[in-house]
Amino acid sequence: KAGVTQTPRYLIKTRGQQVTLSCSPISGHRSVSWYQQTPGQGLQFLFEYFSETQRNKGNFPGRFSGRQFSNSRSEMNVSTLELGDSALYLCASRVWTSGNEQFFGPGTRLTVL
Amino acid sequence: DAKTTQPNSMESNEEEPVHLPCNHSTISGTDYIHWYRQLPSQGPEYVIHGLTSNVNNRMASLAIAEDRKSSTLILHRATLRDAAVYYCILSDNNAGNMLTFGGGTRLMVKP
């Protein structure tokens, strides 16, 4: 099976712009989660989607949003970018069953100038 | 969220066993214990998880204390490719399996 894929892998934006990141889960996985990783805060949960519905949300401002399509692919959007949004954004997919392992993609490295 | 405590770093020699400890004294009855690792420049990778009983898989073993307030990840023979940050995470059965990562343990493997 192909793993979780994320596009683009690298992105440079300027403050105030918006960005959309894409994640394709492993075939058959209907749950997609997003995480932000920074040197200062570590890995932090953003949100999880299942069946096109947001099921869980982390403690991030409303500038961070996401959605999931009927084919389970997911996008996350960050509006009005700030310097502090520079991070590695990771997507993970899993089978929607408690306790199951999550499979992470390689991430999108976002740099905000 | 229940929290975990891990040493910041550990060192091991290649081909020797490694025991990575994790304390989770406030664990609840529905929390699963997960271990993930993150190799340099990669996303986290699932290693193993368990609820109450010890678990074994091709990568590692997970030993869970009887009171579930601590656990130990055991790599039976460390290789240079095992050098990574290892995260011990508690995941509430009722919280959609959201993972709350702590600081992890950076494992260094010496040849």
Q: What angle do CA A3, A98, B98 make, to 5 degrees?
A: 70
Name A86's bridge partners. Answer: none
A60 touches chain B (CB under 8 A): no
Cβ contact A101–B42 (<8 Å): no
Average pLDDT, chain B: 91
User: Residue B80 phi/psi, 5° resolution?
Assistant: -60, -30
Q: So what's the pLDDT on residue B2?
A: 60
* Nearest residue to B33 (alpha-carbon basis) of B108, B107, B100, B96: B100
Whether A45 and chain B come into contact, CB under 8 Å, resolves to yes
Angle formed at CA B67 by CA B8 and CA B27, multiple of 5 degrees: 60
What's the pLDDT at B67?
95
Q: Do B99 and A33 touch (CB under 8 A)?
A: yes
Q: Which value, to the nearest 10 degrees, does the dihedral of the CA atoms of residues A79, A80, A84, A90 take?
A: 10
* Sequence-ordered strand ranges (E) for chain A: 5-7, 10-13, 19-24, 31-38, 42-50, 53-57, 64-68, 74-78, 87-94, 103-104, 108-112
Q: Does the pLDDT value for residue B91 go beyond 90? A: no
Spatial CB neighbours of B85, under 8 Å, sequence gap ≥ 6: B37, B38, B104, B105, B106, B107
pLDDT of B100: 82
- Single-letter amino acid code for the residue at B7: P
Q: Yes or no: say if B49 and B32 are a contact pair by the CB < 8 Å rule.
A: yes
CB contact under 8 A, A56 and B101: no
CB of A58 within 8 Å of a chain B CB? The answer is yes
pLDDT at B1 over 60: no
At B42 the three-state DSSP class reads coil
Cβ neighbours of A41 in B, within 8 Å? none
pLDDT of residue B94 exceeding 70, the answer is: no
CA nearest neighbour of B62 among B91, B102, B26, B20: B20
The answer to whether A109 and A88 have CB atoms below 8 angstroms apart is: yes
Chain B residue at shortest CA distance from A100: B97
pLDDT string in tens for chain A (113-residue length): 689 999 999 999 999 999 999 999 999 999 999 999 998 888 999 999 999 999 889 999 999 999 999 999 999 999 999 999 999 999 999 887 756 688 999 999 999 99
Separation between Cα atoms, residue B46 and residue B53, nearest integer Å: 18
B53: contact with A, CB 8 A cutoff: no
Q: Do A99 and B44 touch (CB under 8 A)?
A: no
Nearest Cα neighbor of B87 from B65, B106, B64 is: B106
Residue B53's pLDDT is 92
Contact B96 A56 (CB under 8 A): yes
Quote the pLDDT of residue B99: 81
Chain A to chain B Cβ contacts (< 8 Å):
58
Q: Does B59 touch chain A (CB under 8 A)?
A: no
Amino acid of residue A33:
S
Give the pLDDT mean for B76-105: 86
Mark yes or no for CB contact A45/B44 under 8 Å: no
Q: Do B95 and A58 touch (CB under 8 A)?
A: no
